Amino acid sequence: MRYELARAIEHVNRFAVLDPEESLEFVDELLELEKVDGPTAYKIANLRPQDRDELRAIYAQERFTLSGDELDDILAVVAKYT
């Protein structure tokens, strides 16, 4: 096994928090929310933001802004999986 591949596998094993099935459930639940598209759902699942500021940073390049209630809804889903 090449060095890079071994290091990548070691990194994933060290930092993976959720099982693959749980991760897919997490993303599916995020996709049910309004204003959460596929790439953003995966980004949220990977980063698991803890507060509104971190979540706003994920949405910084979007052409719309989220209301406080929408941010709280997303953070509530994140809290279930952390």
With 0.85 as the threshold, say if the pTM is over it. Answer: no
Phi-psi region of 35 (alpha: psi -120 to 50; beta: other; left: phi over 0): left
Q: What is the pLDDT of residue 59?
A: 92
Question: Which positions ≥6 away from 33 have C-beta within 8 Å?
Answer: 70, 73, 74, 77
Q: How far apart are CA 75 and CA 33, in angstroms?
A: 11
Helices and strands (DSSP H and E) totals, the chain: 5, 0
What average pLDDT score do residues 36-54 get? 94
What is the rounded CA–CA span in Å between residue 51 and residue 72? 9
In the chain, the percentage of residues whose pLDDT exceeds 70 is 100
Q: Fill in the DSSP letter of residue 51.
A: S
The pLDDT, as a whole number, for residue 72 is 96
pLDDT in tens, 2-35: 999 999 988 888 877 888 899 999 999 999 998 8
Does position 36 have pLDDT exceeding 90, yes or no? yes
Percent of the residues in the chain that have a pLDDT greater than 90, as a whole number? 66
Ordered by where they begin, the domains of the chain are 19-80 (1.10.150.80)
